[in-house]
């Protein structure tokens, strides 16, 4: 299996519901470093997994839709705790949507993605799955 990873970052404000979150139940800020790994069994005719420039551009567009926003005010996320795990899935679904729209060029052979959000130097969460025709709940909108 071949893979290529691109990285970006974004900052949000949010709060959580539930005693398990302790002080994070109050509005607080978070900065995430996000890695998206594109995987496929064979490289294409050009010898690549995905065009890195296009992949980085798609990720930049995705994080721009989340960056410097209070996620508690986003109607799309109403009723959800926007945990690191939750946001990893949001980025995953939006990247799959970008692939399907053709934003990454000839990336239709990408078999799976791994999205990791690093919330600090000691903690991260990942959503990892094959790209399927499953319903993508968080795919749109992808910008603010």
- Residue 25: per-residue pLDDT: 92
- Residue 140: per-residue pLDDT: 52
What digits encode the pLDDT tens for the residues 84-110? Answer: 999 999 999 999 999 988 899 877 789
Look up the CATH architecture of domain 2-13+28-130.
2-Layer Sandwich (3.30)
Q: List average pLDDT for each run of 10 residues in the chain, which is 144 residues long.
A: 97 96 93 97 91 97 96 93 96 94 86 96 95 62 42
Instruction: With CA atoms as reference, report the closest residue to 71 among 92, 53, 91.
Output: 91
- Residue 106: per-residue pLDDT: 79
- Residue 142: per-residue pLDDT: 41
Question: In whole angstroms, what is the distance from residue 36 CA to residue 127 CA?
Answer: 10
**For the purposes of burial, counting CB atoms within 10 Å of the CB of 143, is it exposed (0-12), middle (13-18) or buried (19 or more)?**
exposed
| Domains of the chain by residue range | 2-13+28-130
Q: Are 135 and 66 in contact (CB under 8 A)?
A: no
């Amino acid at each position: 299996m071949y893979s290529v990873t691109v990285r970006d970052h974004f900052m949000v404000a949010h709060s959580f519901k539930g005693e398990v979150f302790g002080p994070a139940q109050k509005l607080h800020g978070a900065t995430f470093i996000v890695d998206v790994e594109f995987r496929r069994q064979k490289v294409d005719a050009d010898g690549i997994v995905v065009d890195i420039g296009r992949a980085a551009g798609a990720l930049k567009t995705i994080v721009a839709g989340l960056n410097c926003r209070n996620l508690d005010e986003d109607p799309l996320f109403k009723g959800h705790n926007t945990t690191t795990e939750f946001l990893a899935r949001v980025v995953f679904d939006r990247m799959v949507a970008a692939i399907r729209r053709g934003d990454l060029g000839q990336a239709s052979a990408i078999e799976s993605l791994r999205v990791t959000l690093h919330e600090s130097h000691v903690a991260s969460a990942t959503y990892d799955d094959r790209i399927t025709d499953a319903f993508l709940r968080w795919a749109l909108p992808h910008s603010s």
